[in-house]
């Protein structure tokens, strides 16, 4: 996984540009209502969302497996810190966060790893804190491409799974939490050989009770 992402970031740089996904704006409104100050971002990449939240006054810690991605982060702000390591090896400190924002990372893992990651995120959120995750939905145009390895999970290359979440499936992953909202959201991207395209993501907002 680390080699794949390092190679990709080395070749394509700041792949998704510097603007945040529109889901980050939605998450920020939610976080403000919840009085969030400190956010954990698992799979933070080169920090486009860390930068966005920091520029809006939140303190942010990211966890990122690719050192190349971390090297591409630019925001000169003491409000941001990136830890180099795998989300599967969290925690990297003993802090508790008010919120987790996790954009398009969870679907990159098989079932047992996905549940481990959610559990590890929850353990780093204070009681009453909140989580906002986005993932690929089963309506993504790439659904079904590659070798099926688990339910709704396909590997485009061996060892590189993509899981496509249905509504029920996503709720099931977060059944240990109070689910506040879920939905589908279109997210435009324009990068690499693919050019402009639209992802059909699912999001979930939940509270640790
Ligand atoms: C689709 S990208 C999303 C990046 C970032 N969330 C964004 O929107 O800019 C997935 C990210 O997860 C990171 N990643 C993949 N596996 C990881 C792991 N086991 N631990 C931490 N980060 C990981 C990748 O390096 C990459 O930065």
Atom of ligand 1 nearest to the CA of 15: 9
Atom of ligand 1 nearest to the CA of 16: 9
SS3 label, residue 73: coil
Ligand 1 center from residue 44 Cα (angstroms):
6
The Cα 189–Cα 16 span in angstroms is: 7
Nearest CA to ligand 1 atom 10: 105
pTM of the complete model: 0.97
| DSSP codes of every residue in 146-176 | SEEEETTEEEEETTEEEE-B-HHHHHHHTTT
From the CB of 65, is ligand 1 less than 6 Å away? yes
pLDDT in tens, 59-102: 999 999 999 999 999 866 677 999 999 999 999 999 999 999 99
pLDDT in tens, 158-204: 999 999 999 999 999 999 999 999 999 999 989 888 889 999 999 99
Ligand 1 center from residue 1 Cα (angstroms):
9
Q: Tell me which residue range forms the domain holding 78.
A: 2-207
Other Cβ atoms less than 10 A from the Cβ of 76: the count is 8
From the CB of 82, is ligand 1 less than 6 Å away? no
From the CB of 53, is ligand 1 less than 6 Å away? no
**Residue 107 belongs to a domain with what CATH number?**
3.40.50.150
Total domains in the fold of the chain: 1
pLDDT in tens, 50-70: 999 999 999 999 999 999 999
Ligand 1 center from residue 178 Cα (angstroms):
26
Residue 29 falls in which region: left (phi positive, over 0), alpha (psi -120 to 50) or beta? alpha
The Cα 192–Cα 22 span in angstroms is: 20
| DSSP-assigned beta bridge partners for residue 133 | 102, 204
């Amino acid at each position: 996984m680390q080699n794949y992402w390092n190679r990709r970031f080395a070749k394509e740089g700041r792949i998704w540009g510097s603007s945040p996904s529109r889901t980050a704006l939605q998450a920020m409104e939610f976080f403000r209502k919840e009085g969030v100050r400190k956010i954990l971002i698992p799979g933070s990449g080169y920090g486009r969302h860390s930068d966005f939240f920091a520029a809006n006054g939140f303190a942010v810690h990211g966890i990122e497996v690719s050192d190349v991605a971390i090297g591409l982060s630019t925001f000169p702000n003491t409000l941001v810190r990136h830890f180099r390591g795998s989300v599967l090896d969290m925690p990297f400190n003993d802090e508790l966060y008010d919120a987790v924002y996790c954009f398009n990372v969870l679907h990159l893992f098989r079932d047992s790893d996905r549940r481990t990651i959610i559990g590890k995120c929850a353990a780093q959120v204070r009681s009453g804190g909140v989580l906002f995750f986005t993932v690929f939905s089963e309506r993504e145009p790439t659904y079904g491409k590659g070798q099926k390895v688990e339910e709704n999970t396909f590997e485009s290359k061996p060892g590189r799974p993509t899981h496509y979440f249905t509504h029920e499936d996503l709720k099931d992953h977060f059944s240990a939490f109070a689910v506040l909202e879920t939905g589908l959201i279109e997210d435009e991207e324009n990068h690499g050989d693919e050019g402009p395209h639209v992802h059909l993501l699912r999001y979930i907002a939940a509270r640790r009770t």
